[in-house]
Structures are given as structure tokens and as C-alpha cells.
Amino acid sequence: MSRSAHPAGPRHADVLPEGHYQAPPSDLNHLDQRVWSRTVTRNADGAVEVGGLDVRALAEEFGTPAYFLDEADFRSRCRAWRAAFGNDADVFYAGKAFLSRAVVRWLTEEGLNLDVCSGTELAVALDAGMPAERIALHGNNKSTAEIERAVTAGVGRIVLDSFQEIVRVAAIAQEHGVRQRVQIRVTVGVEAHTHEFIATAHEDQKFGLALADGMAAEAVHRVLKLESLELVGIHSHIGSQIFDMAGFEVAARRVVSLLGDVRDEHGVELPEIDLGGGLGIAYTSEDDPREPQDIAKALGEIVTRECEAAGLRVPRLSVEPGRAIVGPTAFTLYEVGTVKPLEGLRTYVSVDGGMSDNIRTALYDAEYTVALVSRTSEAPPMLSRVVGKHCESGDIVVKDAFLPSDLAPGDLLAVPATGAYCRAMASNYNHALRPPVVAVADGGARVIVRRETEDDLLRLDVG
Ligand code: LLP
């Protein structure tokens, strides 16, 4: 295995083709604690450790690519959110970010609730012992079977997303002799400053009932007339990977204003408000996320202020962070297969995964960082693009990064902050086998989602 430098490669930051990057960091071996899970460090050998375990040994035991999830970090983030919101509020972890039985058990133990958005997420949650009353079911087109499963399991709330669904859920609840607790999802009409595909509060999109055109008020009116539904609150989710609290504040103000209208028109004060998820995390050193206590304080104050102004009792607040809890807790470990320097451009570094284990770069232009983790290097930085092994040139994991110019096949790279929406959105493109998720805790590592096998794929292929 060669560890020699690539003299022909672009060597320094004076080679800056189009792209988004800062100057190369002064020390490529440094791990910025903002983007790495909390127990990640370098050991005396220069290799990176997570929870006291050397990535070289982890690669040996579990193979690459693989996601390594720091359980202590996950649990401490759960506790931070719980503590920040206190006993007068609920924290629903958004299972879509990453869900597995182990995660459900951790959430249950740490006192979080769970938001699911499909019957199968619900199945995982129930199977792993999350009490049904702590689960909320979301979705803009829940099937009859999904609604039936949720109603019969006794989920704590179903979040209604359309007029058709009001009728559907009411009928199913009635059939089963249940009075189902529901919230109505509204679109508050704010533009969240995030990628178009993950912004959800503007009116021109598929989710929710708009406040502006009176649909939300009409939905409240209809739900209140139905015996089998108990309307407990209003739900708003404005989008994802948001740093600016202004959007949440506008959302809170508009939702409280609807509560005031409902009180005036129907004489009922709805007891709950859910302001959704969407809090941003640090993917790179440039991102500066808010801490849960700041978020809780900002949201709590605005809801209290608006309710006092409207003469309303302050409703029970809930939030649904997914990314902010699981995102920072995991990294993806890859092995370098090829290194292709292009003079005057950049160096293409191919790893053994790609868009099948992280579609976010291709889909949202997401930015990630990457580090050489199997050793340190004092070689000068080279502008690099970390790409996968799939059959298209959009198969990019990290678009612009500086890596040491002595990078060679067999080196291990890790991409931090891949806990959210990477394994959850992984695919079998090119019949890739989806990587395992390995939980690291107390100096030990265990597989919580195993690597797919060729047999798994062949079993589905029944032709
Ligand atoms: N609540 C609701 C109703 C949601 O729709 C979502 C995310 C969340 C909570 C959690 O949002 P978070 O806190 O994780 O941002 N695949 C995209 C993200 C899609 C988010 C969809 N809904 C990505 O990779 O960025």
C-alpha cells in the first residue's frame, strides 16, 4: 500500500476552482468539536477514536462503509432537550432522521416521545416498546391501514393533514369505538431560510392546511363537530436545517393567533401547540447551531407572550427535533480506494460508499467535512472532492474539502454529522448493500442495524 505523496496533484489553496470552501485549515489533523460527536478524539498513535475505540479496529471488525453512532452523545442530547423544555413541554424525536429498535429504547428511557410518519416507523416504535400514547403519527397521505394501526395501538396523537384525512381518521376511530386525540397541521406562510426541498411552511406545497386562506380554521371547525375526534392542538413545522429563530417566532405567533380565533368562534381553548422540528446542526465549522436551552427559552417566551396578549391559557408546547438529536452523534467511515489528482482543478478521492449511504450532498447540495482518521499527516493540504463508487458523476459525498496530499488507497476517511437522514435515506443504487449502524458506548461497539447482504437483496428478487 503506497503512502507516497502525489506530486502532480493540486497542492495548495492557490488552486481554487469554483466551489465553496474556506482556506485550508492550518492543521488538517485537528477535529473541530462542533462537527464531531462528543467522544471523538485522536489517540497517541494519531488515529481517531470514538468512545475510546480506534477507528482502525472498528473498520477491521465491522467493515466499511459503516456509520458509527455515539450512544452517550445521543443520550446526552436527549437529556439536554428534555431538560431545556422541562415538564410543561414534550420533546418528540422525529424518527424519520434515523430510527431503529435501539434508538427507540434510548428515547423511551430518556423520557422523549416519538414522531413517526409511516406505519412501518410505527411498527418499529411499538416493537421496541415505546408506549403508544407517547407516539404521534404524521404524514400527508396516511393510508387507511396506517391510520387503523395507529388508532388501534392507541397512539397519543394523529396529526391531520387534509380535509379527506379528517373524515378518514374520524371514520376509523368511530369504527373502533375510540375518541382519537388529533392535532391539525397548519402552514403558517413563512419562508424558512433553507433548501427548497426541506422548507415546509410556505403555502405552495403539499403539507398542511394554510392559515392564510382560511383552510386551517375550516379544518378546526370540521374536526370539532366530529364525536370520534378530540382536537387537542395545532401543529406547525416550518422546515429543516434552520438556524434563524425568526421563522419559529412568526410561526408561534400565527398559531397562537389561530388559537385565539378558535376560542372566539367556538368557545374552546385548545390545550397544545407543536412547533415541529427543523433546528440546524453544524455540518461544517461555519455552522453555528443554537443550544436546546436557547431554543426552549425563545419558543417558550414567544408563546407565553402571545397567549398573554390574547388572554389565552398558555398551551402545552411540544417540539420535534430529529437532526438536532441524532445528526451530530454519528460519522460515516470509508476506505479510500483511488486518488486521482487533476492538475489545476482538484483531487478526486473515491471511497467505498457514496450517494447510496449519503444522498444529501447530491439532493440538497449539502455541505460536509471530512478527515483522514487512520493516521495523522503533516503533508500539505490538497483541494479534494470525496466521491463514491456509483455510476454517475453526481455521486459526491463531500464536494470541497482539504485533505493531506499524501492520501493513499487504504487510508480511512470519516465524514462527521451523518447521523440524520443518511442511513434513513440510504438506497440500494447499483445494488449497493446498505451499511450497518454500529453503536459505540462504554468502550464497546455493537451493531444496531446490520449491514445488508447479497442474500437480502437476492431474496427480494423473486423473478
Ligand atoms: N416534524 C415534522 C413534521 C417533520 O416533517 C420533520 C422533518 C421533523 C419534525 C424533523 O425535522 P428535523 O428536526 O430533523 O430537521 N431529508 C431532509 C430532511 C427532511 C425533513 C422532513 N421532515 C434532509 O436530509 O435534510
CB 103 within 8 A of CB 74: yes
Residue 26 DSSP code? S
Q: Residue 418 C-alpha to ligand 1 middle, in angstroms?
A: 14
Bridge partners of 398, per DSSP, are 386
Mean pLDDT of the chain: 93
pLDDT for 23 equals 74
Q: Residue 277 C-alpha to ligand 1 middle, in angstroms?
A: 6
b/e burial code for range 386-424 (CB count within 10 A of at least 16 → b): bbbbbeeeebbbbbbbbbbbbbbeebbbbbbbbbbbbbb
Residue 87 CB: number of other CB atoms within 10 A?
7
Query: Is ligand 1 within 6 A of the CB of residue 121?
Result: no
Q: Residue 411 C-alpha to ligand 1 middle, in angstroms?
A: 33
Minimum-distance ligand 1 atom for the alpha carbon of 276? 1
pLDDT for 19 equals 63
d(CA 68, CA 129): 24
CB 313 within 8 A of CB 256: no
Please give the residue that has the higher pLDDT: either 9 or 119: 119
**Residue for cell digits 483511488?**
338
Mean of the pLDDT values across residues 226-250? 94
d(CA 312, CA 315): 8
CA distances in angstroms from 357 to 121, 208, 285, listed in the order given: 19, 30, 22
- 3-class DSSP assignment, residue 157: strand
pLDDT for 205 equals 81
- φ/ψ of 304, rounded to 5, equals -60, -45
Q: For a substitution probing ligand 1, which of 78, 90, 96, 279 has the most ligand atoms within 8 Å of its CB?
A: 96
At residue 337, does pLDDT exceed 70?
yes
Q: What is the pLDDT of residues 383-417, one digit of tens each?
A: 999 999 999 999 999 999 999 999 999 999 999 99
Please give the residue that has the higher pLDDT: either 324 or 24: 324
pTM for this model (two decimals)? 0.94
Query: Is ligand 1 within 6 A of the CB of residue 361?
Result: no
Nearest CA to ligand 1 atom 23: 421
Query: Is ligand 1 within 6 A of the CB of residue 279?
Result: yes
d(CA 140, CA 127): 24
pLDDT for 203 equals 73
Cell numbers representing residue 193 in the block: 431560510
Directed axis angle between helix 144-153 and helix 119-127, to 10°? 30
CA distances in angstroms from 120 to 113, 116, 124, 404, 427, listed in the order given: 17, 9, 6, 43, 17
Residue 25 DSSP code? P
pLDDT for 103 equals 98
At residue 10, does pLDDT exceed 50?
no
Mean of the pLDDT values across residues 327-339? 98
- φ/ψ of 429, rounded to 5, equals -50, 140
Q: Residue 51 C-alpha to ligand 1 middle, in angstroms?
A: 28
Dmax (CA) of the chain: 76
391 is catalytic: yes
Query: Is ligand 1 within 6 A of the CB of residue 146?
Result: no
**Which of 78, 117, 391, 422 is labelled catalytic?**
391
pLDDT for 18 equals 63
At residue 6, does pLDDT exceed 60?
no
Directed axis angle between helix 101-110 and helix 71-85, to 10°? 40
- Chain centroid offset of residue 244 CA: 17
